[in-house]
């Protein structure tokens, strides 16, 4: 989500022309707007303007109430006065942006004092835009319209991600023996990423990657994917295509750009003997290397129709062999082993996983 000041729609030329009979018009983008101000006349004014545009408006007279409304009503946009008793607009904005459930809701801060310091503090609190009182009605309409459009896009994006996630769950369901594999990978990969001191964005990518790394298997026929016997070389080539298919599936989504390298490259090996691009050494993205290691660890420690589960220590020995063969980075494998021995490798435990 854009966090700075958004380029507002170019305000229409200020015109005091006649705008019709004041009956609510059908909004170009529909939406539910929460207005927060301790001065009721200000609330009523904004409400009048936006109701006439056909938006659904709800109101709150202080910060506490605003946060309750966020929780209960999930508005698409918040217009909020900065200077309020108890919780200030900055405080409320910060809480909205810190909460995973509401952080994608655009917040416009409104101030009567047009001060630079206020704007900086607002940006730091995560505000998406600003308005100064007296609010110009044209500017207000333009900003509300453009931010609601933005909210619509992010909502669509969210649902697109849910579709991809559902695909991943479908794949897991096709093969009963991989049950829980995604949750475990998300858990192991984020644990290893945290231990390596990676940033929040990268940890989030590992989490999503845990679910999505094999999403391309949706494009591989059951007969092949679930074949009990050995694969012919040709069949193996077909299976290898899953990373390319997965990469393409995630390709359209901006929010998955950090996940795509994981999907495409988690079967690469340091010596270039992996697939699909035979990348070598550091050319293999770090996140993909991490996913590759935990993927193998989970495959080894899980029972399959053709093999029993190895113990953790046996799996560590196997991974160490892969280091010696020049396939895996020693420091990454060592870190995984030390986490495992400390009992810090767990599946993510969620009833309904989300692409956090």
Partner 1 sequence: MNDRRVFVHDMKNHLAVILGYANMLIEELPETDPHREDANQIYKAGEHAMALLAKLPSAENDPT
- Which residues between 22 and 41 bind partner 1 (CB under 8 A)? 22, 39, 41
- Cβ at position 85, least distance to partner 1 in Å: 12
**Identity of the residue, 83 or 244, whose beta carbon is nearer to partner 1 in the bound complex:** 83
DSSP string, 126-171: T--EEEESSPPHHHHHHHHHHHHHHHHHHHHHHHHHHHHHHHHHHH
Q: Which of 14, 217, 227, 280 is catalytic?
A: 217
> Does residue 119 carry a catalytic annotation?
no
**Identity of the residue, 60 or 296, whose beta carbon is nearer to partner 1 in the bound complex:** 60
- Which residues between 103 and 162 bind partner 1 (CB under 8 A)? 112-115, 133-135, 137
**Identity of the residue, 28 or 113, whose beta carbon is nearer to partner 1 in the bound complex:** 113
Stretch of residues binding partner 1 (CB under 8 A), selected from 11-19, 269-277, 301-309, 327-335: 11-19
Does the protein bind partner 1 through residue 343 (CB under 8 A)? no
Does the protein bind partner 1 through residue 200 (CB under 8 A)? no
**Identity of the residue, 137 or 205, whose beta carbon is nearer to partner 1 in the bound complex:** 137
Does the protein bind partner 1 through residue 85 (CB under 8 A)? no
Of 1, 6, 8, 49, the one binding partner 1 by CB under 8 A: 49
- Cβ at position 171, least distance to partner 1 in Å: 55
**Identity of the residue, 23 or 234, whose beta carbon is nearer to partner 1 in the bound complex:** 23
Does the protein bind partner 1 through residue 72 (CB under 8 A)? no
- Which residues between 50 and 69 bind partner 1 (CB under 8 A)? 52
* Owner of token pair 């290898």: 240
* Cα–Cα distance, 135 to 9 (Å, whole number): 15
Q: Which two tokens stand for residue 175?
A: 């093969």
Q: Which two tokens stand for residue 10?
A: 């170019």
* Cα–Cα distance, 257 to 307 (Å, whole number): 36
**Identity of the residue, 118 or 295, whose beta carbon is nearer to partner 1 in the bound complex:** 118
Q: What is the DSSP letter of 273?
A: -
* Cα–Cα distance, 155 to 320 (Å, whole number): 44
Q: Which two tokens stand for residue 87?
A: 């919780």
Q: What are the counts of helices (DSSP H) followed by strands (DSSP E) for the chain?
A: 13, 5
Stretch of residues binding partner 1 (CB under 8 A), selected from 10-18, 219-227, 261-269, 341-349: 10-18
Q: What is the DSSP letter of 304?
A: B
With contacts defined by CB under 8 A, how many residues of the chain interact with partner 1?
A: 24
Stretch of residues binding partner 1 (CB under 8 A), selected from 44-52, 159-167, 209-217, 348-356: 44-52
Neighbours of 335 (CB within 10 A): 18
- Cβ at position 143, least distance to partner 1 in Å: 15
* Owner of token pair 């994917």: 225
By CB neighbour count within 10 A (0-12 exposed, 13-18 middle, 19+ buried), where does 229 fall?
exposed
Residue 111: strand pairing partners: 132
Of 21, 200, 252, 351, the one binding partner 1 by CB under 8 A: 21
By CB neighbour count within 10 A (0-12 exposed, 13-18 middle, 19+ buried), where does 318 fall?
middle
Helices 330-341 and 181-195 meet at what angle, rounded to 10? 110
The residues binding partner 1 (CB under 8 A) are 16-22, 39, 41-42, 45-46, 48-49, 52, 83, 112-115, 133-135, 137
Residues involved in catalysis: 217
């Amino acid at each position: 989500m854009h966090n700075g000041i958004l380029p507002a729609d170019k305000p229409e030329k200020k015109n005091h022309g006649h705008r019709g009979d004041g009956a609510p018009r059908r909004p170009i983008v529909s939406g539910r707007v929460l207005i927060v101000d301790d001065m009721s006349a200000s609330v009523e004014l904004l409400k009048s303007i936006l109701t006439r545009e056909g938006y659904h408006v709800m109101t709150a007279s202080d910060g506490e109430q605003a946060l309750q409304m966020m929780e209960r009503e999930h508005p698409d946009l918040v217009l909020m006065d900065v200077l309020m008793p108890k919780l200030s607009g900055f405080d409320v904005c910060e809480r909205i942006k810190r909460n995973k459930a509401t952080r994608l809701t655009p917040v416009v801060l409104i101030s009567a004092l047009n001060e630079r310091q206020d704007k900086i503090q607002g940006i730091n609190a995560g505000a998406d835009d600003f308005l100064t009182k007296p609010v110009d009605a044209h500017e207000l309409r333009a900003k509300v319209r453009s931010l609601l459009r933005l909210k619509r896009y992010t909502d669509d994006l969210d649902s697109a991600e849910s579709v991809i996630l559902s695909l991943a769950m479908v794949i897991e369901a096709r093969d009963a023996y991989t049950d829980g594999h995604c949750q475990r990978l998300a858990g192991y990969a984020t644990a290893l990423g945290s231990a390596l001191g990676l940033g929040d964005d990268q940890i989030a990518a590992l989490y999503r990657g845990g679910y999505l790394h094999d999403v391309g298997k949706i494009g591989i026929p059951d007969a092949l994917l679930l074949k009990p016997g050995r694969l012919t070389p040709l069949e193996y080539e077909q299976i290898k295509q899953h990373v390319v298919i997965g990469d393409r599936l995630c390709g359209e989504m901006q929010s998955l750009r950090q996940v795509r390298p994981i999907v495409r490259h988690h079967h690469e090996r340091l010596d270039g003997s992996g697939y699909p691009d035979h990348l070598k050494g550091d050319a293999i993205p770090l996140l993909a290397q991490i996913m590759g290691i935990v993927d193998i660890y989970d495959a080894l420690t899980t029972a399959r129709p053709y093999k029993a589960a190895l113990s953790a220590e046996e799996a560590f020995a196997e991974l160490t062999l892969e280091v010696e063969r020049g396939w895996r980075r020693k420091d990454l494998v060592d870190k995984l082993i030390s986490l495992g021995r400390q009992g810090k490798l767990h599946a993510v435990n969620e009833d309904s996983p989300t692409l956090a």
